[in-house]
A and B are shown apart, each in its own frame.
Chain A
Amino acid sequence: MLKDITLGQFFPGNSLLHKTDARFKILILIAFLVAVIAAKSAWSFLAVVVVTAAFVALSRIPVKIVLKNLKPLIFILVFTGILNIFFYKGETLLLHWSFIKIYKEGLIYAGFMMLRLVCLVCGSFVILTYTTSPLDMTDAIEKLLSPLKALHVPVHEFAMMMTIALRFIPTLVEETDKIMCAQKARGADMESGSLLKRAKALVPILIPLFVSAFRRADELAEAMECRCYHGGEGRTRMKQMKSRFSDWAFLLLMMVFAVGVFFINGYGVRV
């Protein structure tokens, strides 16, 4: 069961989105999110949906996988939909039954909200998490945030922590598996009983896990010191990030799109 845990769910590939510089992808995603949130009219929503579909196509990740990962979202989608249908106050009353009032605008608004959520999640998955390796993402975040170093924000330390966390997730997952087996062999019961009982059964797993994680951290710190680690100052990187013309073009296109959405907002049905 623990074997299935993957962080960020990166799908290696060779598509245009995979090849785009991770720094630019973060910026592109921001532009995309602005566009999605800004969209207010039917036409701008249409544009957003088309662009989202274009991103999915560009990533060459099977639509099936993308849709499958939307499943956990269904509850939130339905919840938002229902809330908006019942509580939105518009002008055209469609249904009135005791205290329930459903307006036409409410229905449209609910539809827009759900569409917005789906686009938001699909877009950010496809642009960033599915097509960017966690390592590239860490590097990109470090690079993008580096201006904050002037304000004494520990950007390098933050990025290093992420790198190490990513490195140790599989190791600790494996260890958790081992500890679970060891505790089961000693007669621990983790699968039956009430929720509280099962939560309590996790304690004998978490304690050894924490102890070993601290020990690992200690040893890792020594090993890092032995390899001359002394913080981000004067540190170079083997892999240099090089932005290509296409990265800039892509970003510019997305920014134009984001601004464009504000203009299209004036047309079509809007709420």
Chain B
Amino acid sequence: MSYIEVKDLCFSYEEEGMVRIFDGLDLSFEKGTYNAILGRNGSGKSTLAKLLCGILQPQRGSVTVGGYSTADEDQLYKLRRSCGMIFQNPDNQIVASVVEEDVAFAPENLGIEPNEIRRRVDAALAEVGMSEYATHATHKLSGGQKQRVAIAGVLAMMPDCIIFDEATAMLDPVGRRDITAAMRRLNKEHGITVINITHYMNEAAEADRIVVLDKGEVIMDGTPREVFSHGDKLRAANLATPQITELCDMLTEAGIELPKGILHTMEAADAIENYVKGL
């Protein structure tokens, strides 16, 4: 069984005239993988995040995370302990006015013993590079720093999985780069399952697997290379490929034959170099 299992998921928001968001969605994520979920506004990607951590309950079907079902009230805290969530707005997820107090919030809720909380808080802050800000006021930090504090706050629970729900959408490019780097490090060095819900193509290209959602259905699922080599299909779902992939596609259309699904600038440069050499 996979770490996250979504089976036959049906969900609709009652107050919005029963608009079906999901109608029989099946999806699974393996433990220790780095995933991205892409989709335009209203494709249901944030709703999916809320269903995964049990904030919302499906009308039909089941969601299991690490063996715990979100429908089981008694196990909800175990589930949330093992699967943390980072939200879009950095301001609205910080509870305390001092950085270390905020990071300590989750372990305090879990009833962990004070010395252990101290140890976890220090380790989590060091992990996101915010140790020197431990006693600073949270409202004076930049957006990227606040998101790093939020990540530390989740790390202090020692989770197996972290879901980033458009966590970089409100950040400047520097903050966005910091958070993306943190995702990669958490996944590669600590084996934490990362699910990054985003609409930035460059960020999605960092993941090992991309799931593209549209109108509550999985329309594409594969490695970034596979997904981005179908530019036409992405555009049909109102999404774009990363700029460099688009450039290569345009070159191919113009008669310059390049491999499909190029993701990075240097990769494109190499491909063009090879093409020129082959002339």
A residues in contact (CB < 8 Å) with B: 134-135, 163-164, 166-167, 170-171, 174, 216, 219-220, 222-230, 234-240
Known: A226-B55, A227-B154. A166 touches B85 (CB 8 A): no
A163 to chain B, nearest CB (A): 6
Chain A residues with Cβ under 8 A from B94's Cβ? 167
- Complex Cα distance, B109 from A213, in Å, reads 24
User: What 1/0 flags go to B178-207 for Cβ under 8 Å of A?
Assistant: 000000000000000000000000000000
Chain B residues with Cβ under 8 A from A229's Cβ? 105, 109
Chain B residues with Cβ under 8 A from A225's Cβ? 55, 80
- Complex Cα distance, B157 from A219, in Å, reads 20
Most B Cβ at <10 Å: residue of A166, A229, A237: A229
Stretch with Cβ within 8 A of A (4 or more), from B24-32, B114-122, B234-242:
B114-122
Nearest 7 A/B pairs, CB to CB:
A223-B93, A219-B92, A238-B104, A227-B106, A170-B139, A238-B117, A234-B111
Most A Cβ at <10 Å: residue of B96, B108, B137: B108
Chain A residues with Cβ under 8 A from B80's Cβ? 225-228
Chain A residues with Cβ under 8 A from B112's Cβ? 236
A236 pairs with B111, CB closer than 8 A: yes
A167 pairs with B85, CB closer than 8 A: no
In the complex, what residue of chain B is closest to A163 when comparing beta carbons?
B96
- Complex Cα distance, B113 from A250, in Å, reads 30
A238 pairs with B97, CB closer than 8 A: no
In the assembled complex, 22 residue pairs joining A and B whose CB atoms fall closer than 8 Å, in A order, are A167-B138, A170-B137, A171-B91, A219-B89, A219-B93, A220-B93, A223-B87, A224-B105, A225-B80, A226-B80, A226-B84, A227-B153, A228-B77, A228-B81, A228-B106, A228-B109, A230-B109, A235-B111, A236-B113, A238-B118, A239-B101, A239-B114
B138 pairs with A226, CB closer than 8 A: no
The binding surface of chain A is classed by DSSP as: helix
In the complex, what residue of chain B is closest to A165 when comparing beta carbons?
B97
Chain B residues with Cβ under 8 A from A227's Cβ? 80, 84, 95, 105-106, 109, 153-154, 157
- Complex Cα distance, B94 from A163, in Å, reads 11
- Complex Cα distance, B98 from A225, in Å, reads 20
Known: A227-B106, A237-B108. A220 touches B113 (CB 8 A): no
A238 pairs with B92, CB closer than 8 A: no
Chain A residues with Cβ under 8 A from B96's Cβ? 135, 163, 167
Most B Cβ at <10 Å: residue of A170, A220, A227: A227
B114 pairs with A135, CB closer than 8 A: no
B110 at interface by CB-CB < 8 Å: yes
B216 at interface by CB-CB < 8 Å: no
Partner of A134, one of B85, B91, B95, B97: B97
B53 pairs with A235, CB closer than 8 A: no
- Complex Cα distance, B100 from A220, in Å, reads 18
A212 to chain B, nearest CB (A): 10
Interface residues of B in 66-97 (CB under 8 A from A): 77, 80-81, 84-85, 87, 89, 91-97
- Complex Cα distance, B138 from A134, in Å, reads 14
B65 to chain A, nearest CB (A): 12
A236 pairs with B95, CB closer than 8 A: no
In the complex, what residue of chain B is closest to A232 when comparing beta carbons?
B109
B101 pairs with A135, CB closer than 8 A: yes
